[in-house]
Amino acid sequence: MRFRGALDLERTEAGVLPWRLPLWTRAQFPDDSVQRIATLSSGVRLAFVTSATVLEVEALTTVTQYDGSAGHSAPGALELVVDGVRLRRAPLLAGKVSQVSVGRSRTIPGPSCRVTFDQLPPGEKAIELWLPQQSRTEVVGLWADAAVGPPSATGRRSWLHHGSSVSHFPEADSPFDTWPVIAAGLGGVELVNLSLAGNARLDPFVACAIRDAPVDLISLKLGLNVVTGASFRRRSFGPAVHGFLDTIREGHPDTPLLVVSPVICPPVEGTPGPVTIAADGRFTALGAPADVPAGALTLDVVREELARIVSARRVHDPNLHHLDGRDLFGEGDIPDLPDGLHPNSAGHRRIAERFAGIAFTQAGPFA
């Protein structure tokens, strides 16, 4: 068996926990949120070959409860794919609860649960069990009524995408509703979704993880969390982007690399971050537009900087490409931003179709 879409695995007391960052990066995490997000299983699936007609899976989820909230995040479901076809969905139960407050978290123990997939097609078949993108999921055990073997090579290219919550989409009903998963299907590639909700902030350990990942295609959707978290000023943002790209190029000197600027996000288009959530559930910016000339970042500034950086580097790096995120989701798509920042499922479908129509076409950067 193999966990596709994960960069590392951890043996826990319960079972096996896939990580979307290498385990060594934990020593460099600035706070608990990076670890929590890196263990949410967006795009992670357990792949194997078997002739079994009955599969039973035991899993232990960890759901999140934020300070002041009465409920917790949904545990999600396991999605069964047989020979490339989505066959069945099995909801999981909430297990452990991670209670998150500012700067810290604590975990309350909870039970694992078992789900069964029966009456599967006879004969040998390729199985993928997709884990939920909104919860940390430890695989406790897998039982089958026939032998289970390692998956065969798919022959498809591997695509690593790094982005923010707009690419992670923890709120989706299914892992198949996130735009990178949809786009990977349209482009016929194997996805590694290294999108880190709230944490796409040009961290060097993320660049090192991408540098060391054995992938064929790379896209970086940069800038949104930098603005929403007020992580940089204009003076420091450009060098940070250059350093991020330099690190990746150490391991992937010629790999097609697409830098994507932020999609439309009205609260921070012309107003600096950070952002907060208003009483109506919509995001609003707390910065002052008057601070932009002094170096505060908005999405307008970030897009200008990313276009300039890629243009300058392309002189010596012809496999580096740029895409304005508004070509994926722009002014006309704002009705599909229910909270002002995150596209809904219809928006994700549109982003995926547009991305595939640009990146994976014969003349595209991922041709």
Residue ending a domain, among 149, 179, 201, is 149
Question: How far apart (Å, rounded) are the C-alpha atoms in residues 49 and 34?
Answer: 33
Same domain, 207 and 66: no
- DSSP E strands, the chain: 2-4, 8-11, 16-19, 45-50, 55-66, 77-82, 85-91, 96-101, 104-108, 113-117, 125-130, 136-144, 148-149, 158-162, 190-193, 217-221, 257-260, 275-277, 283-285, 320-323
- Residues composing the chain: 367
Same domain, 272 and 194: yes
**Mean model confidence pLDDT for the chain:** 94
Same domain, 165 and 307: yes
Query: Is 366 a member of any domain?
Result: no
| pLDDT given at position 68 | 62
Judge contact between 33 and 199, C-beta under 8 A: yes
Shortest CA distance to 263 belongs to which of 229, 228, 211? 228
Query: Is 367 a member of any domain?
Result: no
Same domain, 104 and 80: yes
Joined together, the tokens standing for residue 6 give: 């994960």
DSSP 141: E
Query: Is 365 a member of any domain?
Result: no
pLDDT band at residue 342 using 50, 70 and 90 as cut-offs: very high
The per-residue pLDDT for range 102-142, each reduced to its tens digit, is 667 788 899 999 999 999 999 999 999 999 999 999 999 99
Query: Is 222 a member of any domain?
Result: yes
By residue range, what is the domain housing residue 83?
A: 2-149
Same domain, 163 and 145: no
Question: How far apart (Å, rounded) are the C-alpha atoms in residues 112 and 102?
Answer: 28
Judge contact between 130 and 18, C-beta under 8 A: no
The per-residue pLDDT for range 49-85, each reduced to its tens digit, is 999 999 999 999 998 887 767 678 888 999 999 999 9
Query: Is 277 a member of any domain?
Result: yes
| pLDDT given at position 73 | 81
Same domain, 169 and 99: no
Question: How far apart (Å, rounded) are the C-alpha atoms in residues 263 and 324?
Answer: 8
Query: Is 364 a member of any domain?
Result: no
Query: Is 307 a member of any domain?
Result: yes
Mean pLDDT of 295-322: 98
The per-residue pLDDT for range 201-239, each reduced to its tens digit, is 999 999 999 999 999 999 999 999 999 999 999 999 999
Proportion of the chain above pLDDT 90, given as a percent: 87
C-alpha distances in Å from residue 32, one per residue of 28, 67, 168, 267: 11, 14, 18, 26
Same domain, 180 and 270: yes
Residue ending a domain, among 117, 149, 181, is 149
Is the pLDDT at 279 greater than 90? The verdict is no
Question: How far apart (Å, rounded) are the C-alpha atoms in residues 32 and 363?
Answer: 42
Which residues are registered as beta bridge partners of 47?
2, 128
Count of the separate structural domains present in the chain: 2
Same domain, 197 and 285: yes
Same domain, 98 and 176: no
Shortest CA distance to 146 belongs to which of 56, 232, 219? 56
Helix (H, G, I), strand (E, B) or coil at 194: coil
| pLDDT given at position 158 | 97
Q: Which residues contact 63 (CB under 8 A, 6 or more apart)?
A: 72, 73, 74, 75, 94, 95, 96, 97, 98, 135
Domain CATH for 112: 2.60.120.260
Joined together, the tokens standing for residue 224 give: 């949104």
Same domain, 242 and 355: yes
Single-letter amino acid, residue 58: E
| pLDDT given at position 70 | 64
Residue ending a domain, among 98, 114, 149, is 149
Same domain, 169 and 240: yes
Query: Is 330 a member of any domain?
Result: yes
Same domain, 286 and 318: yes
